[in-house]
Structure 1
Amino acid sequence: MEPEKQPIVQSSHACKISVMAVKDALYVLSGKWKLPLILTLSEGPQRFNEIQRTLGDITPKILSKELRELEMNEFVTRRVYPTTPVTVTYELTPYSRSLDKVLDELRNWGLQHRERIMKK
């Protein structure tokens, strides 16, 4: 049995600010693939096909779109190497590490939730 939590009491203004902050975070990280993509790249720089293999059923079009959006929001760096054929790798930026605590908590919650559902 979980301990009872005290309700969070906020003023209307503080609540609006909190809602705006969560909406901003969800705008940047929303979708089925952004967080799994960040977790995949946490293993180190990877090429497009490596990322696609790790994620499984993501299409090249969607992967390309998600990588561009993460790059635009400064979570991912795209590096092009002058080889033949051209080699392109993607890696997380230092800024992406600001999500480490969030991802750890989300992962822990997901594991607890899965365990809870599997018990039923």
Structure 2
Amino acid sequence: MTGDPKETDEIRNSRAAREARSIVKFMIEHTAYGGFGALVFGALVLFFDIGGIYSLAMASRDAPIFIMLLFFGLFITFGGISLGIGIMNLGGFSDNDRYEDERKSHRNDRNDGRGE
């Protein structure tokens, strides 16, 4: 690598770099969905004072730290679940008979599954 601007642009626009950017975008997007869910869930828990969490937090002198830790834990949990669901939904086909998946279109003609 000589530092040539043209070479740098080729690396930046390579297929691997584009795929890496799309993967990072996918991860950030799905984690943000989970983060939004965490904010909504945490706000509802505090608003309805479920389990006396809000009352307990406000009785403490460290209420901001308590609230921050609550939302941090919810963000990690909901973000991880959302990212996991997104990754598991990446599959391109299903075993459902409605889909014409790769197994039917790329069948080996010599062995059509009859064991001959």
* TM interval, short-chain normalised: under 0.3
TM-score (structure 1 length as normaliser): 0.27
- Larger helix share, 1 or 2: 2
Higher strand share: 1
User: Which is greater in Rg?
Assistant: 2
